[in-house]
Structure 1
Amino acid sequence: MGESIASRIVGVRFSKVGKVYHFDARKIESLRLGDVVVVETSRGWQLGEVVDIINDPVTPPEGTWKLLDRLATPKDLLQRQSWQAKELDVAATAKKRLHELRLVGVKIVMSEYSYDGLKLTIFFSSDSEDKVDLKSLRSDMQRVYTPAQVELRQIGPRDVAKILGGMGACGLEARCCSRFITEFSSISIRMAKEQGISLTPTEITGMCGRLRCCLIYEYENYVEARKLLPKKNKRVITPDGEGKVIDVSPIREMVLVELPEIGRKEYHKDFLKPVDELEAFENKANKTSGGHGGGGCGQCNHR
């Protein structure tokens, strides 16, 4: 189970690779990492696992932390398993009714009962960016699954990919979002450009149809490494003479330079000097020597 938790603020996860939510555990006297607890959520009463602790809690959301209700009992765990066994049938029924209603572009992803069976959430996705009207589907499902309160919840393509799992676009047997990503970050095309990755859609798009989450993994490293390298088309001095920067490899700290006599050749950044920097140094040196030289000659002529 792990070590006892001294703090009253704990992190709870409701699915294997789900987001961690924090709660006030003051109602529970003895609590350990790995314990299963009963919590009231927007999707009804749920069972979650204690996975985290905040030693120095930040300001709680909206002025207060939600309270954990109690530790789960063996009966609670069996009850949850019982309702989970019905979730596939619910999803199948929803898909069938969706087809009968001819709601094109809408897909049922999964269904989820609260652990006590009093709330049933059906997750769906849509090809349209606009809000989808599924009142008729909800009414039909409510009629079939009363007394549970039925809710239809739309989720995005990245959430769908996470739930369904499967092989990643890169060939890994399991997608990153299904293995360890608990919260999705904002990904931009700039991240691919910064890393010199081909902008071909198949190279940067995940199975969800969105930009791959992995584009952010090394992005900051590339940004910092690129600051130490000359920019493309800049003139630089190499051990073999002056040339123009054609390309850079930030992580390797290598620069590809075009030289008049040699052609293209790679150099480590430490062996390069920007032309403008060298010119500035030479101009400064010339001014200094010119000033002293003129003064000396004047004195000689005076004599």
Structure 2
Amino acid sequence: MSDILTDHPEPVDLSDDTRAADAESPPVTAKGRPKASDDIPEPIYRLKTLHSSETSFGYYVHLGADWPHFRSRAELELLLEGPIAQQAMAAKGSSSVESTAEKDLPAGADTLPSQDQAEISTPESEAPSLAPLSTEQHIPLRSLAVAPTKYGKDIVEVQGIILDKASINLDELVLIERPAGIDDLRRLRENKEKEQQAYVLCRDKIWARNLPMKLVSAHYLLDEPKILFYFTAESRVDFRELVKDLVSVFKMRIELRQIGVRDEARVTGGCGVCGRVLCCHGISDRLNPVSIKMAKDQNLSLNSLKISGPCGRLLCCLSYEHQFYKDARRELPQEGVKFIYDGALFKVVEVNALTGTVKMAGEDGRVLDMKAGRFKYEEGRWKVIEIQA
């Protein structure tokens, strides 16, 4: 999770050196990775892992004659549940499934309607500002693909094309291997069921050993005999005996990764106070630093319940418009500034950068609201400009 601001800026694999080598996380595949920024192929896609919502960069090299069909998760699920999948199962000798396929297939139709003929509902998700995808030589938005990740080969979602090459981290650039197919989606579903069982078993093992850690999630990789367990803890945890217990049960490679509470919200997902998907889960896993000063500059309530997310930390969205407020406040006097106006001493009590107004209270009891255009900074102090009649 490099370049991600979390409670643990560099979440590391806490696998002990004495642990078997196969318990270590494999390095990101460098196959086809360019050596300089000038050699970066185009287009570059932003990829998001389905299990942890971590993002990386990838490119695709097509060597065949026909451009492959990249499909979204909704399309793959439709194909998996539709008559085509049932006919494929019937061809393997299942007479019962064959009768069901014939029953469900519309009269006179032998194939599933194409995307142009059938309206396919895709799940709504947040995405960064990306280039529109219009040509068939681009991978469509929200398509699923198989690509290497920092943990191993897995299914990723294409979030769009990166326009700004300066934002691309070459260490995260990987080669997209192929489109995800029906078999991959079926494997993903099977893994989801096994992940629930693995989560419960690992949680019970943690309780049995009374370890000071909270299990967040479990994940099976697509084609590798390996399980990832994410957990949170207040300090470093010695879980070598726990790993031995898990290896004896699952008979495969085990990796436990400690993450921060902000990363926990990113992995598990959820809904924010605005009613939308959590920013860290749906928009980007690049978490910017957030401070209480950002809330003050935007005149927001400092009630921790109103400006904190499910992770218990300040809302990520506090940083989205902070630069606007900073720029706007440079043209306005700050709270506490005093000056003479209309024969009385006034003090600025409130600044609203959004509306460009300043509220000031005078010693004579008057409270005035003035527009930003009435103020001018001269000779080291603020002045109120008189309006010409």
User: What TM-score range do you get, normalising by the shorter chain?
Assistant: 0.7 to 0.9
Counterpart residue number, 2:292: 189
Cα shift at 1:15:
2.1
Counterpart residue number, 2:373: 270
Q: Check conservation: 2:216, 2:232, Cα contact below 8 A.
A: yes
Equivalences for 1:77-116 in 2 at 5 Å? 77-104=185-212, 106-116=213-223
Q: Give the Cα separation in 2 of the matches to 1:245 and 1:179.
A: 40
Code of the residue aligned with 2:190 in structure 1: it is: S
Distance 1:270 1:239, change over 3 A: farther
Q: Give the Cα separation in 1 of the matches to 2:59 and 2:278.
A: 33
Q: Secondary structure at the match of 1:122?
A: strand
Cα shift at 1:112:
0.5
Q: Check conservation: 1:27, 1:70, Cα contact below 8 A.
A: no
Matched, 1:144 2:249: yes
Distance 1:134 1:185, change over 3 A: same
Q: Give the Cα separation in 2 of the matches to 1:223 and 1:279.
A: 18
Q: Secondary structure at the match of 1:92?
A: helix
Code of the residue aligned with 2:248 in structure 1: it is: R
Taking only aligned residues, the RMSD between alpha carbons, in angstroms, comes to 3.1
Matched, 1:212 2:315: yes
Q: Check conservation: 1:222, 1:250, Cα contact below 8 A.
A: yes
Distance 1:24 1:203, change over 3 A: closer
Counterpart residue number, 1:258: 361
Counterpart residue number, 2:58: 23
Structure having the higher Rg = 1
Q: Check conservation: 1:158, 1:210, Cα contact below 8 A.
A: yes
Matched, 1:76 2:181: no
Code of the residue aligned with 1:61 in structure 2: it is: L
Equivalences for 1:44-59 in 2 at 5 Å? 44-54=152-162, 57-58=165-166
Counterpart residue number, 1:133: 238
User: Normalization by structure 1: what TM-score?
Assistant: 0.76
Q: Check conservation: 1:121, 1:151, Cα contact below 8 A.
A: yes
Code of the residue aligned with 1:25 in structure 2: it is: Y
Larger strand proportion of the pair: 1
Cα shift at 1:275:
7.9
Distance 1:279 1:102, change over 3 A: closer
Matched, 1:161 2:268: no
Equivalences for 1:26-45 in 2 at 5 Å? 26=61, 29=64, 30=67, 32-33=139-140, 34-45=142-153
Q: Give the Cα separation in 1 of the matches to 2:376 and 2:43.
A: 58
Q: Give the Cα separation in 1 of the matches to 2:48 and 2:380.
A: 55
Which consecutive unaligned segments of at least 5 residues does structure 2 have? 1-40, 69-138, 384-389
Matched, 1:61 2:96: no
Which consecutive unaligned segments of at least 5 residues does structure 1 have? 1-5, 281-303
Q: Check conservation: 2:220, 2:226, Cα contact below 8 A.
A: yes
Distance 1:135 1:247, change over 3 A: same
Cα shift at 1:39:
1.6
> Which gives a bigger RCO, structure 1 or 2 (Cα 8 Å, sep 6+)?
2
